[in-house]
Amino acid sequence: MQLLLLLEAEHGHTHMERVETDQNKMLEENNMQGLMQDWPLLCSKIIDHAALYHGDREVISRSVEGPIHRTNYSSIHARSRQVAKRLEKDGIAMGDRVATMAWNTWRHLEAWYGILGIGAVYHTLNPRLFPDQIAWIMNDAEDRFLFVDLTFMPIVEAIANKVPSLEKIVVLTDAAHMPETKLTNVVAYEDWVNEVDDDFAWREFDEKSAAGMCYTSGTTGNPKGVVYSHRSNVLHAMAASQPDMMNLSSRDRMMPVVPLFHANGWATAFLCPMVGASMVLPGPGMDGQSIYQLLTQERVTMTAAVPTVWLMLLQHLDKIDGTLPDLESVVIGGSACPRAITRAFQDKYGVDVIHAWGMTEMSPLGTICTIKPEYADLDGEAKLDLQEKQGHPPFTVEMKITDDENKSLPWDGETFGRLKVRGPAVSSAYFKGQGAENFDAENWFDTGDVAHVDPHGYMEITDRAKDVIKSGGEWISTIELENLAVGHDDVAEAAVIGVVHPKWDERPLLVIVPMEGRNPDKQDILEFMRPKIAKWWMPDDVEFVEEIPHTATGKIQKTVLRQQFKDYRFPGT
């Protein structure tokens, strides 16, 4: 051994390095190239495809001005080329960041394709963040232009002078609806875009170039910029539309209620035109009644959003005794989908629930809970048990669970550990190198989620790593307790946090928002939960509150809740 080390030192490289070099040389010499065309996977090709083969397919929007607006892929294609031409006329070029702060409408879609078609980068801003946070994000991204909906003009007026890189603000409306504003460099989209025609050829460049940006909310620390490439968006859309994933086709009328500014719009802006599905865009109408109206009037077959949106819709349906005759499936993700929602959609309205897990960093799809043959015979409660899982990944996503020492854990459906992923539509880094500790040398990205995986590859999130409760050295899943608690008729929303305990380090405290008009009883709720979980998982106490704090993307803000209960002590401790 010593001799080998000595020899290696003498020759300047290790034995292993020598073997690797020889192997690489051999691979290079024997490499026979495929004789297929180098057709760069650019996102502009998606809207080309939609216009060519699905040109008449409708894109229907609730406009910000009010009326329902109808167009099709052929027209979106033409108008997005106008946007591209107009942007170039204004000096926007390859690599420039162009922000959007807008609802889901046809104009937003045209802006996306126009921006990315010249190699510029669409950057979606979440208007639900604090204005200062939006300004911080715009400065970090160095946005040059902003497309904005009328609704958000007050935010822009408050922050525009804090973003020195911002040159022009394009308001997504026509001249007749332009608001009074003190800001200079503000134009009406329709006037601006109609200064040019649609005689424009998409720019061609490397498929690995940036196409879009979206910042994660960053519950701790500053938000981090995720940068999608053209290649990652195209591959992701192909993977996500497959039958065992979203199963989207030209026969669908898809309504993305999830905003384009949340996690790459769940890729719907690419998925729908790629398969030729019609799009029904809800614009600013995010309440139960408006969503119901579009779902029924426009005969929507598939829709997608976070659980809180569906709670609102189900409450509305209850109130008006509504039905959903055309809707076939609803994709639910962003946070764990409560069993009560799945049950109501499936049993009461005949709509399949597709539970999905994803992240901004994953473009965003990670897993989907569709039924593999191994589980095809499940029904009733057993099927609902399966649907509480977040599901299995598409081709292009590899996943593993590990302990704190990065050792892989078994897929037995019980052992939980840190969930790590990699693939061609998973981030390899954040913008400007932030958060480098989340990525390892083999490209595994640490999701920050804690999960178990069953022998058929179905993953179930049990917690965020930051939220898991460590009681006497063992982990308790807060999400599992929350899912259980919301199954009680008196509970509208539930959150579980760890509170210090003199003997066990931490024990679970259950925080509940009661259902409107109900007066729940602590013991009754605990007795409801007791037969369904291990004794040591039972919450030590229940607290009732009027409201649970949420993030801008609808997630329970455990950091704020923990702060709120920082002085709380369990009875007798």
Show which residues are catalytic. 216, 361, 470, 475
Q: Is 113 left (phi over 0), alpha (psi -120 to 50) or beta?
A: alpha
Rule CB under 6 A: is residue 551 a binding residue for ligand ADP? yes
Which residue, 324 or 461, has its beta carbon nearer to ligand ADP?
461
- Over the window 140 to 159, marking each residue x when it contacts ligand ADP by CB under 6 A and - when it does not, the resulting string is --------------------
For residue 486, the 8-state DSSP code is T
Which residue, 192 or 431, has its beta carbon nearer to ligand ADP?
431
Which residue, 80 or 126, has its beta carbon nearer to ligand ADP?
126
For residue 271, which of 294, 244, 257, 250 has the smallest C-alpha distance? Answer: 250
- Answer for which of 145, 292, 310, 357 binds ligand ADP (CB under 6 A) is 357
Axis-axis angle for helices 230-240, 44-53 (nearest 10): 50
Of all helices (H) and strands (E), which one includes residue 79?
A: helix 73-89
Least spacing, CB of residue 38 vs ligand ADP, in Å: 33
Which residue, 143 or 467, has its beta carbon nearer to ligand ADP?
467
Angstrom distance (rounded) from CA 198 to CA 207:
23
Q: Which stretch binds ligand ADP (CB under 6 A): 91-99, 351-359, 393-401, 432-440?
A: 351-359
Q: Which stretch binds ligand ADP (CB under 6 A): 150-158, 234-242, 447-455, 519-527?
A: 447-455
- Answer for which of 43, 115, 263, 341 binds ligand ADP (CB under 6 A) is 263
Least spacing, CB of residue 400 vs ligand ADP, in Å: 15
Is the N-terminal amide bond of 259 cis, ω within 30° of 0? Answer: no
Rule CB under 6 A: is residue 390 a binding residue for ligand ADP? yes
Angstrom distance (rounded) from CA 399 to CA 368:
13
Rule CB under 6 A: is residue 359 a binding residue for ligand ADP? yes
Neighbour order of strands in the sheet with 398-402: 398-402, 417-422, 445-453, 459-464
Least spacing, CB of residue 555 vs ligand ADP, in Å: 5
- Over the window 314 to 343, marking each residue x when it contacts ligand ADP by CB under 6 A and - when it does not, the resulting string is -------------------xxxxx------
Residues in the chain: 573
For residue 265, the 8-state DSSP code is G
Q: Which stretch binds ligand ADP (CB under 6 A): 3-11, 74-82, 467-475, 547-555?
A: 547-555
Q: Are 401 and 453 in contact (CB under 8 A)?
A: yes
Angstrom distance (rounded) from CA 48 to CA 55:
9
Least spacing, CB of residue 144 vs ligand ADP, in Å: 24
Task: Give how many residues touch ligand ADP by CB under 6 A.
Answer: 23
Which residue, 42 or 359, has its beta carbon nearer to ligand ADP?
359
Rule CB under 6 A: is residue 427 a binding residue for ligand ADP? no
Buried b (16+ CB within 10 A) or exposed e, 241-272: beeebbbbeeebbbbbbbbbbbbbbbbbbbbb
The pair of structure tokens assigned to 146 is 């902003």
Residues numbered 202 to 221 that lie near ligand ADP (CB under 6 A) are: 216-217
In terms of DSSP bridges, do strands 278-281 and 474-476 run parallel, antiparallel, or are they unpaired? unpaired
Residues that bind ligand ADP (CB under 6 A): 216-217, 263, 333-337, 355-360, 390, 447-449, 461, 464, 551, 553, 555
